[in-house]
Amino acid sequence: MAVESLLTFAAEGILKKVALLAAQEFMLAWGFKRELKKLGQSLSVLQDFLGGAAEQARDLGKAVEDWVEKLKDIAHDADNVLDEINYEILRSQVELQNHMKKKVLNFLSSSNATLFRQKMAHKIKKINASLAELKSEASFIGLVAKKIDPVAQGMGSRETVSSFDGDESIFGREEVVSDIVKTLISSNHQQKLSVAAIVGMAGLGKTTLAKSVYNDDAIDKSFDKRIWVCVSNTFEVNLILSRVLELLNSWKTGIQSQEALLKNLEEELTGKRYILILDDVWNEDNIKWNILMSCLSKLNSAQGSTIIVTTRSGNVASIIETLPRYDLKNLSTEDCWSILKHRAFPNGRENWKSDC
């Protein structure tokens, strides 16, 4: 049975991301409380059905694979809608930070925002309707829900984070992780600031791979500071610099000017070797990249500091990479089954074996 697409989707854990984003308080403040709550509940239920699919894939045949494909499409739609909302909120925050006058209208109360909220609410309702149909279809084809362990809170959603739990297993990418770690460590005296890109389409585990590198013991010992910033659709240089600074020093918040940001970053990073992960980057604007790299290059950090960028776009990688690129390919069927079993049976008590 061809299960590659089913398993690759399950490995990425898109449902977990969407459910976490939907639970964010700032999302509820936009007037989507009821629909977002419904979205989170529906995704949680369907996530349990996905756990059941791990056991029933061969018994139910192509029906399971088709069902998961539909779920993947709907989850991606939900993911994109939440990213749109998140982007608009962050953009409005940047605009407000750039205007010190109190007369500036809050984006949330503008007429444009009202139209935007109506548009997003309609999209979320449509997604919820599709999820309801998919839930009915799951019962019709005989899928049985199997509870999966709750999402680890330490991971957060695709928000800014500075550290991760180190217990997430990685399958089929061990050699890639080892290769990246060796490259980063050996680049100690090659360049003052190096940039490596991890490139691949959605669902291939770019973030998981970067997380494994980030948490590697050798990286922890070789770098004085480790910083993780999720960028997504919002690529504002000052916002990125501000996130980095806040992660380095939680007391330094609300700084707006680029000059002040760089001065404070200089204080935090002088003489220190750092690794900065920029996760889920979409920006292909050379000018913005040049400004960001210029800012970071001005810092008196130690030789061998490194930036790792995860992106779906080869164009992004071409703009900024100074180290070999890591193009992720589809995992083998065996590795995919290992991931799915690990998610469905986190305690290792599976009662079935794959014959893939």
Q: Which domains does the chain have, with CATH numbers?
A: 4-153+334-344 (no CATH), 173-329 (3.40.50.300)
3-state secondary structure of 35: helix
Dist CA 211 CA 176 (whole Å): 12
What integer pLDDT is reported at residue 195 of this predicted model?
92
The three-state DSSP-derived secondary structure of 290-301 is HHHHHHHHHCCC
CB atoms within 10 A of CB 344: 20
Dist CA 166 CA 217 (whole Å): 10
What integer pLDDT is reported at residue 101 of this predicted model?
42
Burial of 348 (0-12, 13-18, 19+ CB in 10 A): exposed
What integer pLDDT is reported at residue 155 of this predicted model?
30
- Give the global pTM: 0.54
Which parts of the chain sit beneath pLDDT 50? Answer: 1-8, 10-12, 100-109, 148-167, 344, 349, 351-356
Longest dimension (CA), the chain: 66
